[in-house]
Structure 1
Amino acid sequence: MATAFWDRERSGGRQASGGGSFWASGHTPTLVAAFLYFDLAFMVWVLLGPLAPYIAKALALGPAEKGLMVAVPTLAGAGLRVVNGLLVDRIGPKRSGAISQLIVIAGLFSAWTLGVSSFAGTLALGVILGFAGASFAIALPLASRWYPPEHQGKAMGLAGMGNSGTVFAALFAPALAALFGWNAVLGLACIPLTVVFLVYMALAKDPPNPPAPKRLAEYLAPLRQGDAWWLMAFYSVTFGGFVGLAASLPIYFTDRFALSPIHAGYATAACVFAGSLVRPMGGALADRIGGVRALTGVFALAALALVGVSMAGTFVAALACFVAAMLALGVGNGAVFQLVPQRFAAEIGVMTGLVGMAGGIGGFYLASSLGLAKQWTGSFAPGFLIFAALALVALAGLTIVKRGWRARWGTAAGVRI
């Protein structure tokens, strides 16, 4: 039945699973739709970061309040990723994505028309933006379920390259805020979101042979297995570091080096672009050398770069260290999701949600801790040093589990881990 379905889909880019080139083995229009959805969702997910200097000035926010403001969308996105993971397996990824996009568009439009005039209002907006961050648990299974195991890393890496949406937020939001006011940016964001929603509805197609609906308790069954917790922990460092920095760097550059919001946005965009660009490369690298080997280098380099950030005395030195950290973390994001479908192929929807939730929690921790560090010590350095230590803890954990993983499920999956 599956082969017959895939044969019918060849005109859209799908053929029978197994072997062949990457592009011939899946459904390209759906992959494009998943990328665009993810890209624009991530753009608005971190929107409060580039706007933070303007919002903080207008609402007289302190360092801890600024840190919490940009961290709340990541925490909301973390929790909602689990919800979306459940929806993907129950009503399908295309319909789940459509619902999420409409909620975000309606929320931003309401915030623009009604205005946001208090710190509490920014937190409420952050919760709405969490629906955009939760797109992770929809876009990745939407794309990856079309592809055979040997191409999972590349498929999820390309769909996950939607992280690059954070570049657009950093590049354009500060300049638009300077021209029209920061609240107007919320309304302007609805325009590309609506265009992408229409493209998504036209191109996306639910993958064949979706998993049968399960009882709620069955969705959380992977949490009874230690491998799920390890993968979640690793992603809380790689993706948590990426999104936490993406949300916090505009505040860091304006506070630490007195950059204008626009120039801080350009610097942030350079860092985020580096991490986004290498995500699919991370998936491809993990397909080639194994996710464990890739993550070993990732955690070591990320820790070293973040220590360098804590000691950087000039803007150039800090920027170089941030780019190095983002490159490592971007590779790590792709590498973790090369491993997830090899171990949890039957639960990929819920595992994408659970692992993505852990990444969001890591991002919330980093963004909020940087604000607290600045308020309590007058410096961001302690926040970076603690996260560097967490990367080393992740490296130690990877060293502990890697032999068992290769023996128990790497060989069975037939893919290098």
Structure 2
Amino acid sequence: MREGFDYAGGGAEIDPVPPRATPTFWQVGHPPTLIAAFLYFDLAFMVWVLLGPLAPEIAKSLHLSAAEKGLMVATPTLAGALLRVVNGLLVDRIGPKRSGAISQLIVITGLFTAWLVGVGSFAGTLALGVILGFAGASFAIALPLASRWYPPEHQGKAMGFAGMGNSGTVLAALFAPGLAALFGWNAVLGLACIPLSLVFIAYLVMAKDAPNRPAPKALADYFRPLQSADAWWLMGFYAVSFGGFVGLAASLPIYFTDRFGLTPVSAGYCTAACVFAGSLVRPMGGALADRIGGIRTLSAVFAIAAVALAMVSVAPGVVSALLSFVVAMLALGTGNGAVFQLVPQRFQSEIGVMTGLVGMAGGIGGFYLASSLGIAKQLTGSFAGGFLIFAGLALLAWAGLFVVKGQWRAAWSTGARI
């Protein structure tokens, strides 16, 4: 009788249903779109800062002053900053994939025309800089393209991986000076169209808009996030972290050639080392922010960046300056990933326009740093003043985190660390 009872299950223990394994990062979202966003962003950033590595040769050819050199390399940054808002609007209206295709066609056409016609004046470099601004504005397209596929707990990694495309600045620093020495700097503009065209084709094949795209809003609604102080704080933090990164990426070839007399090729290698450091850690910054919180990550970022930039201002030689720049770029690259771990937690439904607004602030920060270094050099004969002022801005950002962290942690509830 007992045996029958046991066989029927009356006395047996019932095994609990095993918990379902949490999907890993690569099991959620849409990896082909993530890779397409990275490739698009990478090549766009390569040409966005192209005038920086070419600046020593362009300045020699066109007889530019220190202030003109600074403004030349800063113009793409400013144009990219303003165009990011336009791209943010396009992303929410027509979708990120189509917006990215339009932007890439504009950049390829502009570079090809500049190579064909030639750039023979300072005004011509500024006009080219405006066209290259469309490449810098890719930020407001590539990140929403990737972000919309991923849940909140994976936003830091997704945005960090796509945002690692800022490593394209390494490609410009590594290859542009050498190609300019071989073929002339104007030829580099045409050569850049080759990889851009290949990535454009891959983008069309691989990228796909996420199915949960928000419905288009009225034009006034796109700027509604600016009514929130949180938006301004995030923009300010990114103006320092990304502004420092891209401003240095554009200016370091000029710094190393003018300050230490390096050849353009050697200055390009030094710049590439610095930029590679900052690009490499961007996804790590997002992952670190996922783990310990964006605010805690940014607190360390701004403190380290301020100290490193202050050390640059008094660096006596190439080695000490290079080491200080690498430390600064490691911190700033980490900060770029951390800021964009926070943005979707607060503005998920407005991620397109907020990416544009925050990216615009970052571009303005980069324009300020690049142009101020040129002005400081022309007025005082030294770059030190420009670096010290930006170090002070990093300290202000660090102090700002202590103002907002209590309120953000209390008010935001997304399941991710703040």
TM range (shorter): over 0.9
Q: How does 1:64-79 map to 2 (within 5 A)?
A: 64-79=67-82
Whether 1:281 aligns to 2:284 is yes
Which residue number corresponds to residue 382 of structure 2?
Answer: 379
Measure how far apart 1:209 and its partner are.
1.7
Letter in 1 for 2:111: L
Q: Distance in 2 between matches of 1:163 and 1:126?
A: 18
In structure 1, the residue matched to 2:46 is 43
Please state if 1:320 is matched with 2:319: no
Higher CA-based Rg: 2
Matched, 1:145 2:145: no
The root-mean-square deviation of aligned C-alpha atoms, in Å, is 0.7
What TM-score, normalized by structure 1, do the two folds share?
0.95
In structure 1, C-alpha distance between the alignment counterparts of 2:188 and 2:259, rounded to whole Å: 25
Report how far residue 161 of structure 1 moved: 0.2
* Alignment-derived partner of residue 94 in structure 1: 97
Counterpart position of 1:408: 411
- Does residue 217 in structure 1 map to residue 220 in structure 2? yes
Spell out, residue by residue over 1:122-148, the C-alpha distance to the aligned partner (whole angstroms, 9 max, x if none): 000000000000000000000010000
Which digits, 9 at most, give the CA deviation of each residue in 1:255-313, with x for residues without a partner? 00000000000000000000000000000000000000000000000000000000100
**CA distance in structure 2 between the aligned counterparts of 1:265 and 1:19, rounded to whole angstroms:** 44
Structure 2 residue 187 is the aligned partner of structure 1 residue 193: no
1:30 aligned to 25, 33, 36, which one? 33
Structure 1 unaligned spans of 5+:
1-17
Count of aligned pairs: 398
What is residue 18 of structure 2 aligned with on the other side?
A: none
Give the counterpart of 1:111 among 110, 114, 118.
114
Alpha-carbon distance between aligned partners in 2 of 1:209 and 1:243, rounded to the nearest angstrom: 32
Alpha-carbon separation, structure 1, partners of 2:373 and 2:406: 35
Could you report, residue by residue, the CA deviation over 1:57-89 in whole angstroms, capped at 9, with x for unpaired residues?
Answer: 000000000000000000000000000000001
In structure 1, what is the Cα distance between the partners aligned to 2:211 and 2:245? 32
TM-score between both structures, scaled by the size of structure 2? 0.95
Q: Report what 1:349 is aligned to.
A: 352
Q: Which amino acid aligns with 1:349?
A: G
Matches within 5 A, 1:206-245: 206-245=209-248
1:55 correspondence with 2:58: yes
Rounded to whole Å, the distance in 2 between the matches of 1:226 and 1:340 is 13
Letter in 2 for 1:414: G
Which residue does the alignment assign to 2:157? 154
Q: What is the CA deviation profile of residues 334-360 of structure 1, one whole-angstrom value per residue up to 9, with x for unaligned ones?
A: 000000000000000000000000000
Aligned-partner Cα distance in 2 for 1:22–1:290: 18
Partner in structure 2 of residue 293 of structure 1: 296
Give distance in 2, aligned partners of 1:380 and 1:365.
14
Amino acid at match of 1:408: A
Matched position secondary structure for 1:413:
coil
Residue 6 of structure 2 aligns with which residue? none
The equivalent of 1:124 in structure 2 is: 127
Question: 1:46, CA displacement in angstroms?
Answer: 0.0
Q: How far is 1:19 from its partner?
A: 4.2
What is the distance in 1 between the residues matched to 2:212 and 2:305? 39
Q: Which runs of 5+ in 2 are unaligned?
A: 1-20
